[in-house]
Amino acid sequence: MRRSAVLRVALAAVALLAGVVPVVRAISGALPERPLPAAITDPVLARSDYLENCGGCHGIHGLSAPAQLPELRNRVGWFMCTPGARAYLVRLPNIAHSRISDNQQLADLLNFVVFGLGGDSVPPGTQPYTAAEVTRERQFALSAASLKKERARYVEEAIRMCRAPVAMRLLFPQAAADKIRR
């Protein structure tokens, strides 16, 4: 079995045991990703890095509701609205302190998340992350204590400056949770 296949089986088993519906739904449902920017040097690696390092919490297709963590699918792109907000994504502890030490590889992973999962939330003309940007911003990793405040600040910026939906104030749209419970 390929490594990603093993991971999928493992995730499905964990999901079944824990009764985590979104992961199962994400595996069975066909959810196409957007075309990825050419700046991603290795799209296959970027996708498997996401599955391995992030998908367990955020869902393999970026769908995590109703778990109390932010849904990435069709939402994460709003953080590309302002320089501070895009830096925020790099400064998140799980990203800044990632065991991926190669900054181009981490930029590829972030570009996969933003452009592959972010859908229509990515503002037009958004430039992909570069290795230089990731190298710079990951030095300023946020502490767990400041996350909530920082997120609120960048969400308000995106609502004001990029017309992000006010539902971004929540970690996931209520409709996503309702759909799963039904």
Residues that bind ligand HEC (CB under 6 A): 53-54, 56-58, 69-70, 72, 76, 89, 92-95, 98, 113, 147, 151
CA quadruple 81, 55, 47, 41: dihedral sign: positive
Q: How far is the CB of 65 from ligand HEC (least distance, A)?
A: 12
Q: How far is the CB of 162 from ligand HEC (least distance, A)?
A: 14
Closer of 65 and 89 to ligand HEC (Cβ): 89
Q: How far is the CB of 48 from ligand HEC (least distance, A)?
A: 12
**71 close to 172: Cβ distance less than 8 angstroms:** yes
Q: How far is the CB of 79 from ligand HEC (least distance, A)?
A: 7
Q: How far is the CB of 13 from ligand HEC (least distance, A)?
A: 18
Closer of 29 and 93 to ligand HEC (Cβ): 93
What helix, strand, coil percent values describe the chain, rounded to 5?
Answer: 65, 0, 35
For the CA atoms of 83, 86, 87, 89, the dihedral, rounded to the nearest 10 degrees, stands at: 170
Q: Tell me how crowded residue 126 is: count the other CB atoms within 10 A of its CB.
A: 17
Residue 167: which residues within 8 A CB-CB, separation 6 or more? Answer: 173, 174
Closer of 1 and 36 to ligand HEC (Cβ): 36
Closer of 16 and 69 to ligand HEC (Cβ): 69
Position 170, amino acid:
L
| Distance (Å, whole) CA 83 – CA 75 | 17
Closer of 94 and 174 to ligand HEC (Cβ): 94
